[in-house]
C-alpha cells in the first residue's frame, strides 16, 4: 500500500514539474515577445531623430507613447483577465500586437508612426497582468516567487534581444524589415502559448464588467497601504531604468568614448543577468524580507550610476551592468509583493502596479530627455539617484510591517 502511494506521489510530482516547465516556457516567451516588440525602437532613436528630423530632446516621445498607452491599457486589461481568463488574454494580445506591427511600414510620417506604436503598446498591455495573476493562481506559493523571477527573465531577454537585434541590423536592413521581423515573432509566440500554457484550474471569473465595480475595486487597492506605496516604487524603478537606456547611446557617442550606436547597443547583453538576479531576488525576499532586499538593491543601483560618471569605458559598462542586474531583481520582488498582498481581483492589482511602472518609464524617461539636454549625463545621474533615495524611503516605511502582516496567497487546489 505504501509503495503504491509513493508511486502515485512520484507520478504527481513529475506531472507538476512538467506543468511548471511548460508554464515557465510559455510565460517567459510571451514576456520576451512583448518587450522585444516594444523596445527594439530604443536603440534606433538616434537614427529616427535624423531620418524624421526630430530634436534629440524629443525623439524619445515614441517610446514614451508606447509605454504610456501600455500603462493606460493595463487599467482595463487586468480587469478583462479577471473576467475572460489569463491564457485567452495573453494570446489575443500577442496576435493583435503582431498584426499592428505589420502596419508600421505603412506609416509615412513621424506623427503617424508614433500613433501606431502607441496603439501597439495598448494592444500588448494584457500580457504582464494576466501572466502574473496566472502564476499566483496556478503555481504553488513556495515556488511562485521563483516562477515570477523567470517571467521577469523572459521580459529582460525580450528587452535585450529587441535592443541588440535592432541595433545590429539597422546598418544592413531597412527599418521596415525590422518591423516585419518582430511582427512575425509575436504571431509565432501566440501560437506556442496556445499549445504550451496549461489551462487555468483555479481561475474564478468575475461575474461582470460593470464600470462602477471596477472603479470601486481599484479604489480598494489604493486603500491597501501595502499596495499603494509599492505603486510609487514601481513608478520610480522603471522610470530610472528607461532613462539610462534612452540616452546611453547619445552619451557614449560623444567624447571621450566615441562609441557607435551599434556597439553601445551591446550593453543590453547585461539583461541576461536577470536569469540569476530575478529568481535570486525572489529567494532572498522570502528569506530576509522583500523591502529589506529592495533597499539593498536601490543602494547598489545608485552605486552603479555613480560608476558611469567615470570617464573610462570599462568602468562605465560595469556601472551600467550593475544597475541593470539590480533593476530586474527589484521588478521581480515588486510583482510578487503585489500578487501576495492583493486581497481581491489580483489581476487588477497587478495591472495597477504595472500601470505606474510603465507610466514611470514614460514620464520620467521623457523628462530626463530635457534633463540630459540641459545638464548632461552628470545632471541626469543626480536626478536618478535622488529618485532611488525616494524609493528606498518608501521601502523603509513598508519594511516595519512586513513581518507583522500575513500575506494573502492563493491556495493550490
Instruction: Spell out the per-residue pLDDT of the chain, length 413, in tens.
Output: 444 444 434 433 444 777 778 888 888 899 899 889 988 888 888 787 887 788 877 778 888 888 888 888 877 776 676 766 788 889 999 999 999 999 988 888 888 989 999 999 988 888 877 887 788 777 777 777 777 777 877 877 887 888 888 888 887 888 889 989 999 999 999 999 999 888 777 667 666 655 566 676 677 777 778 888 999 999 999 999 988 888 887 788 877 877 876 777 677 777 777 777 877 887 888 888 889 999 999 999 999 999 999 888 889 989 999 999 899 899 889 988 887 887 776 767 877 888 888 889 888 988 888 898 889 899 999 999 999 999 999 999 887 766 544 433 333 33
Q: Cα separation of 280 and 289, whole Å?
A: 13
- The three grid cell numbers given for residue 43, joined into one nine-digit string: 536603440
Cα→Cα distances 75→19, 72, 135, 140, 212, Å: 30, 6, 19, 27, 13
Q: What's the pLDDT at 119? A: 92
Cβ within 8 Å of residue 242, ≥6 positions away: 63, 67, 360, 361, 362, 364, 365
Letter string b/e over residues 311-328, b meaning 16 or more CB atoms within 10 A of that residue's CB: eeeeebbbbbbbbbbbbb
User: Looking only at Cα atoms, what is the longest distance across the chain?
Assistant: 77
Q: What's the pLDDT at 410? A: 35
CATH superfamily label, 23-198+206-397:
MFS general substrate transporter like domains (1.20.1250.20)
Q: What's the pLDDT at 299? A: 95
Q: How many residues does the chain have?
A: 413
Cα→Cα distances 96→40, 116, 124, 146, 255, Å: 18, 12, 8, 29, 43
Contact criterion met (CB below 8 Å) for 169 and 178:
yes
Helices 86-102/175-196 angle, 10° precision: 160
**DSSP-based three-state secondary structure for 150:** helix
Sign of the Cα torsion 334, 340, 343, 349 reads positive
Cα→Cα distances 223→231, 342, 357, Å: 12, 11, 19
Q: What's the pLDDT at 118? A: 93
Q: What's the pLDDT at 406? A: 41
Q: What's the pLDDT at 211? A: 59
Letter string b/e over residues 146-174, b meaning 16 or more CB atoms within 10 A of that residue's CB: bbbbbbbbbbbbbbbbbbbbbbebbeeee
**In the chain, where the domains are located:** 23-198+206-397
**DSSP-based three-state secondary structure for 255:** coil
- The three grid cell numbers given for residue 78, joined into one nine-digit string: 487586468
**Local structure of residue 109 (DSSP, 8 states):** S
Q: Cα separation of 334 and 1, whole Å?
A: 45
Cα→Cα distances 293→148, 270, 281, 285, 380, Å: 16, 21, 7, 6, 25
Cβ within 8 Å of residue 207, ≥6 positions away: none
Backbone dihedral angles phi then psi of residue 170, each to the nearest 5 degrees: -60, -25
Q: Cα separation of 318 and 298, whole Å?
A: 16
**DSSP-based three-state secondary structure for 59:** coil
**DSSP-based three-state secondary structure for 344:** coil
Contact criterion met (CB below 8 Å) for 268 and 131:
no
Amino acid at each position: 500500500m505504501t509503495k503504491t502511494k509513493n508511486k502515485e506521489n512520484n507520478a504527481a510530482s513529475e506531472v507538476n514539474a512538467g506543468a511548471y516547465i511548460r508554464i515557465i516556457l510559455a510565460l517567459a516567451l510571451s514576456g520576451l515577445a512583448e518587450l522585444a516588440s516594444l523596445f527594439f525602437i530604443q536603440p534606433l532613436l538616434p537614427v529616427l531623430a535624423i531620418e524624421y528630423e526630430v530634436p534629440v530632446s524629443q525623439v524619445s516621445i515614441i517610446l514614451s507613447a508606447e509605454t504610456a498607452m501600455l500603462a493606460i491599457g493595463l487599467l482595463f486589461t487586468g480587469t478583462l483577465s479577471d473576467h475572460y481568463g489569463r491564457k485567452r488574454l495573453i494570446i489575443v494580445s500577442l496576435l493583435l500586437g503582431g498584426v499592428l506591427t505589420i502596419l508600421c511600414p505603412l506609416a509615412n510620417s513621424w506623427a503617424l508612426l508614433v500613433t501606431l506604436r502607441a496603439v501597439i503598446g495598448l494592444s500588448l498591455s494584457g500580457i504582464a497582468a494576466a501572466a502574473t495573476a496566472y502564476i499566483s493562481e496556478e503555481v504553488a506559493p513556495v515556488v511562485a516567487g521563483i516562477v515570477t523571477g523567470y517571467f521577469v527573465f523572459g521580459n529582460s531577454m525580450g528587452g535585450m534581444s529587441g535592443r541588440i537585434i535592432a541595433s545590429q541590423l539597422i546598418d544592413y536592413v531597412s527599418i521596415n524589415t525590422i518591423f516585419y521581423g518582430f511582427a512575425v515573432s509575436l504571431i509565432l509566440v501566440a501560437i506556442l502559448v496556445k499549445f504550451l500554457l496549461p489551462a487555468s484550474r483555479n481561475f474564478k471569473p468575475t461575474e461582470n464588467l460593470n464600470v462602477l465595480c471596477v472603479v470601486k475595486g481599484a479604489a480598494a487597492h489604493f486603500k491597501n497601504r501595502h499596495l499603494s506605496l509599492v505603486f510609487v516604487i514601481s513608478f520610480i524603478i522603471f522610470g530610472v531604468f528607461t532613462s539610462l537606456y534612452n540616452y546611453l547611446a547619445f552619451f557614449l557617442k560623444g567624447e571621450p568614448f566615441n562609441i557607435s550606436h551599434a556597439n553601445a547597443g551591446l550593453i543590453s547583453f547585461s539583461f541576461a543577468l536577470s536569469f540569476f538576479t530575478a529568481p535570486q531576488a525572489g529567494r532572498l525576499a522570502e528569506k530576509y524580507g522583500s523591502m529589506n532586499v529592495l533597499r539593498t538593491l536601490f543602494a547598489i543601483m545608485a552605486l552603479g550610476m555613480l560608476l558611469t560618471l567615470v570617464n573610462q569605458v570599462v568602468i562605465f559598462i560595469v556601472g551600467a551592468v550593475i544597475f541593470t542586474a539590480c533593476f530586474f531583481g527589484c521588478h521581480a520582488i515588486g510583482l510578487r509583493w503585489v500578487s501576495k498582498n492583493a486581497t481581491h481581483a489580483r489581476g487588477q492589482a497587478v495591472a495597477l502596479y504595472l500601470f505606474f511602472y510603465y507610466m514611470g518609464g514614460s514620464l520620467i524617461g521623457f523628462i530626463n530627455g530635457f534633463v540630459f539636454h540641459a545638464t548632461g549625463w552628470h545632471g541626469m545621474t543626480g536626478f536618478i539617484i535622488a529618485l532611488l533615495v525616494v524609493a528606498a524611503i518608501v521601502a523603509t516605511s513598508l519594511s516595519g510591517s512586513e513581518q507583522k502582516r500575513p500575506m494573502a496567497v492563493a491556495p493550490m487546489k
